[in-house]
Structure 1
Amino acid sequence: MLIALGAAPLSICANADANNDEQVTIDEIVAGVGRLLEGCPLGSGALYEVHACGEPFRVLLRQPQAIEEAERILAGSEPQKIVTGELRPGNGNFNGPWRWHLEPCSVGFAEAAIELCDGCPSYVEEHLAEWLEVVRRYCPWSAQLVRRIR
């Protein structure tokens, strides 16, 4: 796939990888740009590792009160709680290898959550379209905040 970025308006280009006249879709362009940005800085916030069903995933917290609560949980001055947040497509440049992430400004901690948003990271991955379109929130009951990465 060939991606060109510049000041000109976005247009559909011929797909250089195709053997025919197939066109590059917007989804392919977004995916390509996402791959290019994988190593880009995360910006502000604190990155944490969480385990649910024994499977690791990462959350980026940007809200100061959420970061403070996460630090209290890790220090043992507060009990573990359910990590919850709005589900978004793509790994957000921090939650690989998963194809989803939690919106950093929406991540928080809860003592209880509805069963609909409970699940293992691999289950979310396997049924991603349904989770993004119907459930739209992730709140794994088995979540354990493990460590601060940065």
Structure 2
Amino acid sequence: MNRGRALLAAAVAGVALTTVSGCIAGPEPTVAVFEVPSGGQFTIELVTPELVEHAQALLAGENLAAVPQGVVVRESSSVNMPWSWHIDPATLEFTNITTEACDGIPQYVEDEILTSDSFCPWSARVIAVEGPDA
């Protein structure tokens, strides 16, 4: 009976270690790093090849829709450190036309001064594209 419990405990521990190590050592996402003048930096995960290409083109100085817009998720994300929020990468789009309600700086999102569920900083610009697809 004790041997059975020991085997069960070892199996559970193995599953837990596999799960934890899978979360920690998962694949590195491709991200765009943005800078907002007088407002700091923030990072958004790029989940499609089209978004990666668009961010790279902006970085290269091409004249494209440049304002990042997406839904704010108010929980931490490893891609947007040190902020306690991130943009849902599935909602990210680049545009030139947005409402004023989502414009601001990263600190406004952090402090919940920005009350819109979207963030679209008009003055943001791509300063880096990083990751395996960059």
TM-score where L is the length of structure 2: 0.71
> Which among 120, 135, 146 is matched to residue 105 of structure 2?
120
Structure 1, residues 11-42: CA drift from partner, whole Å, max 9, x if none? xxxxxxxxxxxxxxxxxxxxxxxxx89x8356
Q: Could you tell me whether the CA contact under 8 Å between 2:65 and 2:95 is conserved in 1? A: no
TM-score where L is the length of structure 1: 0.64
Summarize the alignment of residues 68-87 of structure 1 with structure 2, pairs less than 5 Å apart: 68-79=53-64, 81-87=66-72
Quote the sequence identity (%).
26
The runs of at least 4 consecutive aligned structure 1 residues that moved more than 6 Å come to none
Summarize the alignment of residues 1-150 of structure 1 with structure 2, pairs less than 5 Å apart: 40-41=24-25, 43=27, 45-54=29-38, 55-79=40-64, 81-127=66-112, 131=115, 135-150=116-131
Judging changes above 3 Å, is the alpha-carbon distance between structure 1 residues 68 and 123 closer, same or farther for their aligned structure 2 residues? same
Structure 1, residues 100-149: CA drift from partner, whole Å, max 9, x if none? 00011211211121000011111111117x63xxx111000111111112
- The secondary structure found in structure 2 opposite 1:70 is helix
Q: Could you tell me whether the CA contact under 8 Å between 1:80 and 1:145 is conserved in 2? A: no
Instruction: Could you tell me which runs of 5 or more consecutive residues in structure 1 were left unpaired when the two chains were aligned.
Output: 1-6, 8-35
Letter of the 1:140 counterpart: P
Instruction: Could you tell me which runs of 5 or more consecutive residues in structure 2 were left unpaired when the two chains were aligned.
Output: 1-11, 13-19
Ranked by relative contact order (alpha carbons within 8 Å, sequence separation 6 or more), the top structure is 2
